[in-house]
Amino acid sequence: MARRSFWVWVVVGIVCSAIMWAVPGSETVPYHIAWATFALCFGLEVWSAAATWTSLAIFTVVTGSILVLRVAEGVLDWQEAAEIPLMLLLMALMVVHVRRRQGAIAALTALHERESREAHSRELLTRRTSHEMRSPLTITRGYIEVLEDRHVGTESAIELAIVSDELKRLTRVCERLVRSLLAQQDLELEAVDLDDLLLRTRNAWAAVAEREWLVTASAGTSSCSPERLRACLDTLVENAIRYTRPGDTIELFGSRGLDGWISVGVSDSGPGFSAGTRRAVLAGAHTQAVGAVGAGGDVNGFAAEGPDSPVAQLGSPDAFGDELSQTGLGLGMVEEAASRRGGRLEIGVSQWGGARVGFSWPARTA
């Protein structure tokens, strides 16, 4: 199907050909105007191969015949006839390159659409799988608790405790998968009361872990995604719970600095990080954020090999890592979410000597 720009070129070509025939000695001006129109129109819309080459051939034959006739009559110098093959060659080269470019763009567009569909399918599969697993896991854990009450003090109680612990770990895996998806999505932005969100996050986790829970919030309101922000906070809180024990302190904090930056995060009274470990964690989180997860059994994005490794400084890998450490989740997910807003991940020492992990972003960003 011919496009509108093609018919513009056809009309201009006919008019210019008529002028070339009607005004001897002035053929070069309408001749070049017609070719310029062809280049402009074809650059705006790529026509079918049949329409392109047929129109080029007809225009070349018509205008070429006029030029050859004028040269034969002595109206034009013979050099003018040399423009006939030259202009055709230039336009043909332009057509070839434009078509190649359009083909490459079409291939990239198709690839992007296919990858988007595959990503959406993977997301739906993960969400549905996680959702379908939650109900049977909850029911199973309930029966395990009943059996534990019946077998208190027996050998079966130890085995049931192991089963219960593994079920809890599997439940956390499902929750992390959902949080990871929420943190990576481009969700709709809205005005969020950060202080209220921190308070609600504390209340939700206080029922799960026996800790001394604190909230220090003065961040105010920001335009962001509450789902993504909550997913990041849940990740930091879960890390803090993992590295603390009952009776330890976990604080959720939020502040707005004079420089216009907003900071939120979690601090605790656990073992904390050494200076070398903080550098390794930041480097590992950045690696995860750009999609590169280290090989060789890395934990939360950095290697766990050797007695001097950052993980070894904190204890066994099991005490530091989690079930999804090799999937790039954790702090890498938090840094990736912060970097989308021009922010950064921050790791330091809490007022109790433990870990202080948060992320900040400029309040002016949308």
CB atoms within 10 A of CB 208: 10
Residue 294 in contact with residue 301, Cβ under 8 Å? yes
> What average pLDDT score do residues 243-261 get?
92
Calculate the CA 289 to chain-centre distance.
Answer: 10
- ∠ CA 130-163-123, nearest 5°, is 10
φ/ψ of 356, rounded to 5, equals -130, 110
Confidence of residue 184 (pLDDT cuts 50, 70, 90): low
Confidence of residue 356 (pLDDT cuts 50, 70, 90): very high
pLDDT in tens, 253-301: 999 988 889 999 999 999 887 776 666 666 655 554 444 333 223 333 3
Least confident of 68-72, 157-161, 182-186, 232-236: 182-186
Beta partners for 253? Answer: 216, 265
The mean of the pLDDT values for the chain is 79
Residue 180 in contact with residue 333, Cβ under 8 Å? yes
CB atoms within 10 A of CB 136: 10
**Helix (H), strand (E) at residue 224:** strand 221-224
pLDDT in tens, 36-75: 999 998 888 888 888 899 999 999 999 999 999 998 888 8
pLDDT in tens, 86-133: 999 999 999 999 889 888 998 999 998 898 888 777 777 766 766 677
Among residues 134, 126, 230, 133, the alpha carbon closest in space to that of 181 is found at: 126
243 vs 300, higher pLDDT:
243
Residue 312 has what pLDDT?
A: 31
pLDDT in tens, 324-340: 343 335 777 788 888 88
pLDDT at 14 over 80: yes
Residue 333 in contact with residue 345, Cβ under 8 Å? no
The DSSP-derived string for 267-328 is: EESSS---HHHHHHHHHHHHHHHTT---TTT-BTTB---STTSHHHHHS-HHHH--TTGGGT
Residue 34 has what pLDDT?
A: 92
Residue 211 is given by DSSP the state S
Conformational region of residue 77, where left means phi above 0, alpha means psi within -120 to 50, and beta covers everything else: beta
Rounded-to-integer distance, Cα 231 and Cα 255, Å: 19
Residue 101 in contact with residue 42, Cβ under 8 Å? no
Rounded-to-integer distance, Cα 6 and Cα 47, Å: 7
